[in-house]
Chain A
Amino acid sequence: MDKIKEKLQQTSQATRSERRGRFISFLALILILVVVIAIFWFVAAKGLATFFQNHINVGDFLSGKTWDPSVKGANGKPEVGALPMIVGSFLITLLSALVATPFAIGTAVFMNEIAPRNGAKILQPVTELLVGIPSVVYGFIGLSVVVPFVRHVFGGSGFGILSGTFVLFVMILPTVTSMTADTLKSVPRYYREASLALGATRWQTIHKVVLRAATPGILTAIVFGMARAFGEALAVQMVVGNATLLPHNLVSPSSTLTSVLTEGIGNTVMGSLQNNALWSLALVLLIMSLFFNVIIRIIGRKGELR
């Protein structure tokens, strides 16, 4: 009798495995959270050291035009003006998004509205494949095709913002296109039918109904592409010329946050000012990536309300 009672009151095998499984899977989830917090903690600690340990003024860092951390400037402080890189990064990101947007929207509309059969049959698998092409491959093609082309047409060395823009344009095009196409697909069919039934032409339906309804999704796709362009390192580093100067035109060699980071981290000593300054650039990169995230969220929330 007691044995049965004991057995009934004990936690069963199933309960124990349930608890264990739930606990282990929860640990895995928490691990991801810890990783994210650790990334922010480490990069912020390193990046802020420039300002707290080396006493560099944040304003000077963000607005200074000379980047040469091993040399002391006129005011007796090292030259760590990150403006050239910040300008370079923003310029390349904005330009490539500006070029990619019409192409991406046009292609997505073509796939969904104009030639849903043949267009989608060719374009869909190709864009999906191109999303997966490694960025170094884009960099290599940029180096062997785009840079000589730019040099030939616009003169100069061929390295610069323009080449970077071309490379990033092709790189983010598949991403933005396939995200835009997904949004267009989610616009309900009866929107189109209602518009056509009112006597609107296909073009009127597309730009007055379909694109309007899909605007939040398209904006998300563009911001997503910009975030990718902003954070891309190697492909840009290979074609941008890597001169830490303010770009005075689109074909002069310049640099981005990511390109300076990939070049510099290996050539500086841990803990030195030169190294800390690079980590500050990484911190800027991190904050910008957060910023893009917030924008995407805001767009998503606004899109939901309608």
Chain B
Amino acid sequence: MNAKTADKIATAVFYAIAGSVILILAFLLGYILISGFPKLTWQFLTTTAKAFTAGGGIGIQLFNSFYLLLLAMLISFPIALGAGIYLNEYAKQNWLTTIIRTAIEILSSLPSVVVGLFGFLLFVVHMKMGFSILSGALALTFFNLPLLTRSIEGSLAAIPNLQREAGLALGLSRWETVTHVILPAAVPSILTGVILSAGRVFGEAAALIYTSGQSAPALNFGDWNPFNISSPLNPMRPAETLAVHIWKINSEGIMPDASAVSAGSSAVLVLAVLLFNFLARWLGRRLYHRLTSSTN
């Protein structure tokens, strides 16, 4: 076989592979959105779930997902920011930095179920916090920290050294340079990283099954005092999120319309991830223009 024929055959094979991958991916997205779309009514999104009869909604689960996401982000962002700043601005090339970088890498590659089990052991059992939103948020923090730290470190590293030198030349300390010069310049890309990691946290389930629990007690949405047990804001109540809900009704549920409810919930999850993706890109670009007053 001469080289030209081989080249043509190979090209055809590559087209076939890429075509089939596109087909698989298109089928995947299409299946989720098409089978879930009829379910997406206001009623489905806001009513409570029913365990034994058809027609339940995902209202509480949806709220729990967002609340848990918010708490997890509130806890993990300051830590990741501090760690990112230290790694990029202060850390010297020594054994400690190497160990910490390795630790971050290991943490990011740990199976999320192991992180969840650790959260279960430490918070739910040892600290007696029970299955609660707080335990879940802390487990999600561990899950989220390595990626967020690396993304923030990357955002800081992308700021040219000229900016640091300019800050120091003006007589600012290093910390002042970081907080007044480097961080504002890095805000757009830090924000993009935060929103992208929010998408990941939003869909996480394995780390939550044994930390925030698999039950969604009824909530009283008129009561916003975080110390009342039926208040949506109470961080010590068990909270099943949307992703856990999908797993639960498919593996143990006896709900007659389980597959329709999971189709609807899956569509919501995927749409949320899509939304996070677009939001990250759009906001990042917009903020960049705003802060740097670039024109294109």
Contacts and interface: CB of A to CB of B under 8 A. Distances in A.
Interface of A: 14-15, 17-18, 20-22, 24-33, 35-39, 42-43, 46, 102-103, 106-107, 109-111, 114-115, 119, 122-123, 126-130, 132-137, 139-141, 143-145, 170, 173-174, 177, 200-204, 206-207, 224, 227, 230-234, 237-238, 258, 261-262, 265-266, 270, 279, 282, 285-286, 289-290, 292-293
Given A35-B142, A109-B14, A136-B247, A42 B79 contact: no
A92 B67 CA distance: 35
Interface stretch (B4-12, B49-57, B225-233): B4-12
Main secondary structure of the interface of B (DSSP, over half): helix
Contacts of B105: 293
Interface residues of B, number: 92
Nearest to A104: B21
Contacts, number: 262
A202 B11 contact: yes
Contacts of B149: 32
Contact of B17 (A20, A110, A270, A293): A110
Nearest to B149: A32
Contacts of B176: 14, 17-18
Closest 3 pairs (CB-CB, A-B): A134-B203, A231-B111, A28-B82
Contacts of B166: none
Given A22-B175, A36-B103, A265 B11 contact: no
6 contacts: A28-B81, A32-B149, A107-B21, A132-B273, A141-B28, A237-B247
B173 interface: yes
Main secondary structure of the interface of A (DSSP, over half): helix
Contact of A32 (B13, B145, B173): B145
Given A18-B174, A21-B179, A110-B18, A233 B112 contact: yes
Contacts of B178: 21
B121 to A, nearest CB: 5
Interface in B199-226: 199-200, 202-206, 209-210, 214
A133 B273 contact: yes
Contact of A28 (B18, B86, B114): B86
Contacts of A224: 109
Contacts of A127: 25
